[in-house]
Amino acid sequence: MKKVLFSALMCLAVSMLFTAPTKAAEVKSLRGDLEIMSPANVPDLPKLEVVDKFERNFKSQPPLIPHKSEKYNISLNSNKCLKCHDKKNYKEEEAPMAGPSHYIGADGKEGDKLNMGRYFCNQCHVTQTLSKELVENTFTSK
């Protein structure tokens, strides 16, 4: 019985293997119609544009970064952003502290240690630029 099931699964897997490429050809990504192995066309780094006060468009929007950030590396061993924005450094560095929400632990209380779910800052924060949207966006805050 097990053998029958196994061969049935193998047949299914093989037939999927043959139908997959036609499906993949229909998919269009932001990378364009490039072969998987060919390098993507990397766009120029957009110019930094700092506006005096960049309003947040909705409650709890991560604020944009008003300074250059491409050299501030984040790795397993170090996080340059924390050198200025961490609770224990921000006063000395005269930088705003990362939001209190970033220090809420598993117990739901604010502590002194960054919640590791917030470690990769640029997952949510990006530098202000003069760049065009990659896809059309009609969102308005009012």
Q: Residue 135's closest CA among 28, 41, 27, 18?
A: 28
Single out the residue of 10, 26, 102, 105 in contact with ligand HEC (rule: CB under 6 A).
102
According to the binding rule CB under 6 A, does residue 128 interact with ligand HEC? no
Of the candidate spans 14-22, 24-32, 38-46, 114-122, the one that interacts with ligand HEC by CB under 6 A turns out to be: 114-122
- The CA distances from residue 106 to 67, 79, 102, 116, 142, in Å, are 31, 21, 12, 10, 35
Give the nearer residue to ligand HEC in terms of CB position, either 31 or 67.
Answer: 67
How many residues lie near ligand HEC (CB under 6 A)? 32
Return the amino acid letter for 77: N
Q: Does 113 interact with ligand HEC (rule: CB under 6 A)?
A: no
Q: Which stretch binds ligand HEC (CB under 6 A): 23-31, 104-112, 115-123, 132-140?
A: 115-123
Using CB atoms, what's the residue nearest to ligand HEC?
Answer: 99
Q: 11 vs 50, which CB is nearer to ligand HEC?
A: 50
Calculate ∠ Cα 123-46-52, nearest 5°. 80
Phi, psi for 8 (deg, rounded to 5): -65, -40
Give the separation between CA 74 and CA 142, rounded to whole angstroms: 35
Check residue 103 for interaction with ligand HEC (CB under 6 A). no
DSSP summary character for residue 60? T
Cα–Cα distance for residue pair 86/103, rounded to 1 Å: 10
Q: Considering only residues 37-96, where is the footprint of ligand HEC by CB under 6 A?
A: 60, 62-63, 65-67, 69, 72, 79-85, 93-96
